[in-house]
Chains A and B, each alone.
Chain A
Amino acid sequence: MEQTAAFEDDRLKLALNLAVKGDGQAFEDLVREHQGMVFSIAYHFLQDRSLAEDLAQEVFLELFQTLDRIQSPAHLTYWLRRVTANRCIDQGRKKHRRREMALEEAPEPVASSPSADPMLLERLQQGLATLPEKQRLVVIMRFQEGLGPAEIAEVLEMPVNTVKSTLHRSLAELRKGLARKIREVRYAFF
């Protein structure tokens, strides 16, 4: 397992070095390696596939233009997360998507595992879309990227304690929103 990770790291390091020297194929490898992460952050934040794709492409374009400043694969991942988060906030401000999006607007269906409740996952995504920008990003970084509070703090340029409290508040809001939604459904039925 460790060997695989080390091999993977070496491979990325090599690709990064080659890409910095102008190798297009190496840069494509880097894009392929990180596109899932960048696209998913954007998609979960914006809840719009085409906007997320556009944003992800812009992030990679910016990466291409500033590639010589990237020092290591870890730095690359950090840089991509940070730039994606910043661009998400910019995009969110431009579109005011949080206010435009109604709770009933369902995002695209998730490819859930058989054990997960698809309705619950859908409600969670809807609830996430109603959170304020920073809270949404903190939740995405925590549960999509699996980052700890310190790493999230670094990426989003926030104090660690603020990250912790934001995370706590976001989960409480998600729970409250979910409970409210269920009450509404019950009321509609009975």
Chain B
Amino acid sequence: MHFSEDDLREALKRKDPGEGFTQRTMARVNQARVNQARVNQARAEGTAPPATKKVNGKFLAWWTLRPAWTVVVAAVLLLACGIGGYQYSEYRHAEEMRIARAKQQQLQQEAERARDQAIMALEIARAKLNHVLQHAQLQAEPSDKVRRQRL
């Protein structure tokens, strides 16, 4: 089954909204007119609250009419979030590295201090041992004076 442009025209030809449409529309319009007149009168008398300015109306209409802009704004926000997130992760990584380096340096300093103390302790121990050894040798070998007295 194929269709021609005339078929499409026929399918989409204008339709009558039916009896009473004009009257119903005019009733709504008149109601709006009456309401507006009432508001104007009340405003003139100073009894009505000041008309609130519709801040978002136009913007929202613009928003709904241009979904492409929505996509663009969303993409820009996403990009900004991505860049921000990346920079934050980079900053955190750098900070962690700095802390790790400082810790390593501290450990190294402590190790060097411990090594120096160990060396010093060994020096002291060596000196004491030498001293004890000398005493022991002296006691083991009788002095020449004593030997001579014995003879």
Contact = CB atoms under 8 A, between A and B. Distances in A.
Nearest to B2: A175
Interface in A136-185: 139-140, 143-144, 146, 157, 171, 174-175, 178-179, 182
A68 interface: no
Given A89-B65, A124-B8, A143-B8, A56 B25 contact: yes
Interface residues of A, number: 48
A11 B5 CA distance: 33
Nearest to A181: B1
A31 B28 CA distance: 12
Given A125-B11, A144-B13, A120 B3 contact: yes
Nearest to A25: B26
B20 to A, nearest CB: 10
Contacts of A28: 22, 26
B57 to A, nearest CB: 12
B131 to A, nearest CB: 100
A178 B3 contact: yes
A121 B7 CA distance: 7
B7 A120 contact: yes
